[in-house]
């Protein structure tokens, strides 16, 4: 009698614990909305404090000329242009290449291609930019090439890892339902691999926005101009302003990548 009475109680307790564990796991997978909201708010506060300081600071003629609102705005647009163009080119190359390298016919070439991409990122970026500039000339597109070589690895590697991590039984089930290879890729493999691919894209975005600071060495523009000018002319307000703006832009790009990562995540994986 006692055993039959205790058994439902234990079962209910086990069910409660399992439900609590499942709820905790679900909450752990949900996006941290406090972080998603707090990061852009922090960036807005930092930029706002800098703007107030800029409007009230006593600057000499060189510092005023370098920190004019029009100049800062132009440099910011140039930095964003470098980041956007390089990221788009990386996506157009790395994602299709990663998909191709997971197909049976070209799977053997994946280690070699990843090793080449790894060599591009392992090289010192400033040396890569300067060597390309000597070879191809100074300017915007040389900087874009260097940024692409430096940022292609995270997207390529995550695309391969994400697709390889898809459960083979799901792929076989799709083929068993009469789906073509293209349909299986578009409806099963890519949706399941999206979180891993988006993590690689977010990493590439942060790499590009930080590395684009060095584009100023080959006359490609960007906020790095403020940093190099501050160092060269010993104008610390200009130097610190450039560092603050680059850091704020990197945080904002990282936040945008995080939001995009959450938005594109399939609902079934939340």
Q: Is the pLDDT of residue 101 over 50?
A: yes
Nearest to 117 by CA among 143, 149, 85, 87: 149
Q: What is the DSSP code string of 146-165?
A: HHHHHHHHHHHHHHHHHHHT
DSSP element (H, E) containing 52: helix 33-56
Report which of residues 179 and 267 the model is more confident about.
Answer: 179
pLDDT at 21: 38
pTM: 0.79
pLDDT at 33: 58
pLDDT at 170: 81
Two tokens, residue 80: 């964003």
With beta carbons less than 8 A apart as the criterion, state whether 144 and 89 touch: yes
Three-state DSSP at 235 gives coil
DSSP element (H, E) containing 93: helix 69-101
Q: Is the pLDDT of residue 7 over 60?
A: no
Three-state DSSP at 137 gives coil
pLDDT at 104: 79
With beta carbons less than 8 A apart as the criterion, state whether 235 and 63 touch: yes
What is the mean pLDDT of the segment spanning 243-270?
A: 81
Rounded Cα–Cα distance for residues 217 and 85 (Å): 18
Rounded Cα–Cα distance for residues 217 and 133 (Å): 9
pLDDT at 144: 93
What is the mean pLDDT of the segment spanning 94-108?
A: 85
pLDDT at 15: 42
pLDDT digits (tens, 9 = 90+) for 49-62: 999 998 888 888 88
CB atoms closer than 10 angstroms to residue 151: 31
Q: Is the pLDDT of residue 31 over 60?
A: no
Least confident of 27-41, 66-80, 132-146: 27-41
């Amino acid at each position: 009698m006692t055993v039959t009475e205790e058994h439902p109680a234990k079962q209910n307790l086990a069910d409660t614990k399992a439900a609590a564990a499942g709820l905790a796991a679900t909450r752990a997978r949900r996006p941290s909305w406090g972080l998603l909201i707090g990061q852009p708010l922090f960036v807005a506060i930092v930029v706002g404090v800098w703007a107030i300081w800029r409007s009230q600071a006593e600057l000499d003629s060189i510092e005023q000329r370098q920190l004019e609102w029009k100049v800062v705005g132009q440099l910011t647009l140039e930095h964003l242009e470098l980041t956007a163009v390089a990221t788009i080119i990386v996506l157009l190359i790395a994602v299709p290449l990663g998909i191709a390298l997971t197909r049976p016919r070209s799977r053997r070439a994946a280690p070699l291609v990843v090793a080449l991409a790894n060599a591009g990122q392992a090289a010192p970026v400033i040396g890569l930019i300067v060597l390309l500039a000597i070879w191809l000339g100074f300017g915007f597109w040389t900087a874009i090439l260097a940024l692409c070589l430096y940022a292609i690895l995270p997207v390529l590697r995550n695309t391969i890892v994400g697709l390889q991590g898809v459960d083979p039984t799901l792929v076989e089930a799709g083929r068993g339902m009469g789906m073509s290879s293209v349909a299986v890729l578009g409806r099963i493999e890519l949706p399941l691999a999206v979180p891993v691919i988006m993590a690689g894209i977010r990493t590439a975005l942060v790499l590009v926005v930080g590395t684009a600071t060095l584009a100023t060495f080959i006359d490609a523009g960007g906020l790095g101009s403020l940093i190099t000018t501050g160092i060269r002319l010993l104008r610390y307000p200009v130097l610190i302003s450039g560092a603050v703006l680059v850091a704020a832009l990197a945080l904002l790009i990282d936040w945008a990548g995080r939001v995009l990562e959450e938005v594109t995540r399939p609902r079934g994986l939340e």
